[in-house]
Amino acid sequence: ERDRLAGEVVDLDKRLATNRYYSENLEYIIRNNEDAMSKMASRAKFAEGERLNVESKLRALMKTMEEQKEAHEKDVLNANGRTDDIRRIKETLQRERDSLRSDIIKLNNAMADLKHDMMLKANMISSLNLDMNKLNVKLDEAYILKSKAEKERDEMAQEMETLHERIENYQGKIYFIFFFNREIRI
**How many CB atoms are located within 10 Å of the residue 142 CB?**
20
Domain parsing of the chain, residue ranges? 2-185
Q: What is the pLDDT of residue 177?
A: 80
- Residue 12, judged by CB atoms within 10 A of its CB (0-12, 13-18, 19+), counts as buried
Supply the pTM of this predicted model: 0.39
Spatial distance between the Cα atoms of 129 and 23, rounded to a whole number of angstroms:
10
Mean pLDDT of 99-126: 92
CATH number of 2-185: 1.10.287.1700
Nearest-CA neighbor of 18 among 135, 172, 167, 160?
135
Nearest-CA neighbor of 74 among 84, 65, 82, 64?
82
Give tens-digit pLDDT for 77-106.
676 656 677 788 899 999 999 999 999 999
Cα atoms in the Cβ-side hemisphere of radius 13 Å centred on 167: 6
